[in-house]
Amino acid sequence: MVAGPRQVGKTTLVRQALAELGLPHRYVSADDVFPPDAAWLRQQWQLARLDTAVLVVDEVQRVPGWSDAVKALWDEDTRDGRALRVVLLGSAPLLIGRGLGDSLAGRFERLRLPHWSFDEMRDAFGVSLEEFVCYGGYPGAAHLICDPMRWSNYVRDALIEATVSRDVLQIDRIERPALLRRLFDLGCAYAGQELSLNKIMGQLQDRGNTATLAWYLELLGASGLLTGVGKFAGEAVRQRAASPKLMVYNTALRSAVLRQRLPELRADPEAWGRQVEVAVGAHLLNTAPADGVDVTWWRERNNEVDFVIARGRSVLAIEVKTGRRRAHRNGLAAFQAAYPETNTLVVGEGGLELGRFLERPAGHWLDVMR
């Protein structure tokens, strides 16, 4: 199972791997049929049994009951001694996770593809550090960076709208899709800032409850769009619903929603500093799961730390500095005074260069800063 957000290169990756292997294969996509159902999936599987070594099913989560159908077909092949290899691709991680856990335990290996990192975008498309901070890591949008209006429309229409309407709304019955969309827009605007769910309700000026908002935030997070980062509190992480720091998984999402362009963004120290902080947060969120790292933030009274990453007893507090005015300037010292066994890292002015930090995953910095 290859799972990850839309437009991160899952299909391209699998096609390139198949081309290198040179094995006979069959590639089908549930996006190409309407409506896809278990009968269609069984037909494709049976055709693959005839003369192929590898069956690839893209966007499998769009097939109702896909996991039960795959389980039955896979067990048939196992019982009959068939050597068919199967690769499933999906863009709705929460749906994929449910299916794998419910029906396919012990039958699969999951490969998670996050959003592209700075070094990947730089090496593949020549994207500069400042371009990455502003326009993020979508490979399909890289060639449009020179035309910010086209780039913004592409990200909004082909990525955000496709994810919300085809993935998020498919995960569960969403009674108020307009509220979910407004929550995403608000989250992009306030990315990098603490915002309680009660305050979010006030900003949305919509009737509802915090439980609904917390669930919608969970769905957006599971789709690789927007999440709420919880607070670090010693050995426990406080519930995200209490007062999360909103964070997008890709700065492209924020720039597209706010119609940000690099020249104007770079000319505003406050806006640029916020965007850099969001870029660091997105990088941590995308790279932490592979290394078993938790991402949180910390604040006590007037002292604040932008991010805290932890794995077991190893804890690293990270402060992002870009020259903008900050109300909380003694966060790292206060954090280390409260938790003496932890380590600290400054990213940006007076510390590790931003580009170097973005080249390595969260687990790397947790290890080297011990």
List, for the chain, all residue ranges whose pLDDT scores fall below the cut of 50: 239-241
pLDDT at 96: 64
Contact 295, 322 (CB under 8 A): no
State the Cα–Cα distance between residues 246 and 190, nearest whole angstrom: 7
3-state SS, residue 70 = helix
pLDDT at 102: 60
Residue 59 has a CB neighbour count (10 Å cut-off) of 23
pLDDT digits (tens, 9 = 90+) for 7-61: 899 999 999 999 999 999 999 999 888 888 999 999 999 999 999 999 999 989 8
pLDDT at 208: 62
Q: Give CA separation, 321 vs 21, 219, 269, 325, in Å.
A: 46, 31, 11, 9
Domains of the chain: 2-112 (3.40.50.300), 118-368 (no CATH)
3-state SS, residue 123 = helix
Contact 61, 90 (CB under 8 A): yes
Contact 160, 253 (CB under 8 A): yes
Residues whose CB is less than 8 angstroms from the CB of residue 344 and which lie 6 or more positions away in sequence, other chains included: 316, 317, 318, 319, 332, 335, 336, 369
Contact 53, 23 (CB under 8 A): yes
Q: What is the pTM of this model?
A: 0.89
> What single DSSP character describes residue 159?
I
pLDDT at 243: 74
pLDDT at 176: 80
Q: Which of 283, 306, 196 lies closest to 243, judged by CA?
A: 196
Give me the residues paired with residue 57 across strands.
28, 88
Per DSSP, the chain holds a count of helices (H) and strands (E) of 18, 13
pLDDT at 164: 86
How far apart are the two ends of the chain, measured CA to CA in Å? 34
pLDDT digits (tens, 9 = 90+) for 253-266: 999 999 999 999 99
> What single DSSP character describes residue 108?
-
